Amino acid sequence: MAYWLIKSEPFKYSWEQFVKDKETMWDGVRNYAARNNLRAMKKGDQAFFYHSNEGVEIVGIAKVSKESYQDPTTDNEAWLVVNFKPFKKLKRPVSLEAIKKDKRLADMDLVRLGRLSVQSVKPEEWDLPTHLLIHLRDASFVKEAVCF
């Protein structure tokens, strides 16, 4: 299994709307590096769902439910989409500020390539919510994550 981070502006598409929809097609990606990440995703892979611009925090975890296929919103065959389903909601979001404060995550794409909308996450970075909450003396994420 591989791990990812997908960004969405909550005023355009929030975690709450994602949960209501139960599944979504991740469309509109127009950056080649982000597109390549979509292409590499496999069914069952997991992705941090990150609210950008407002909140700037990881709010949940999504699962890939359908691997990449041509983006039906454009005739340009270069662009792809992937389908996601909500998997877990974080009881307490993990802010970008907290991520940047953790020296172990200095090389994370979210810190280095802030504008990239679809990013890979290394396995050692995947435990980030748990590590950060433990670092903040609050390990409740593990016990309180809500599964759908």
What mean pLDDT is reported for the chain? 88
- Is the per-residue pLDDT at 4 higher than 80? yes
Q: How far is CA 22 from CA 38, 45, 62, in A?
A: 19, 17, 10
Quote the CA–CA distance of 89 and 81 in Å, as a whole number: 23
Segment 41-84, tens digit of pLDDT = 999 999 999 999 999 999 999 999 999 999 999 999 999 999 99
Complete domains list, the chain, with CATH: 3-147 (3.10.590.10)
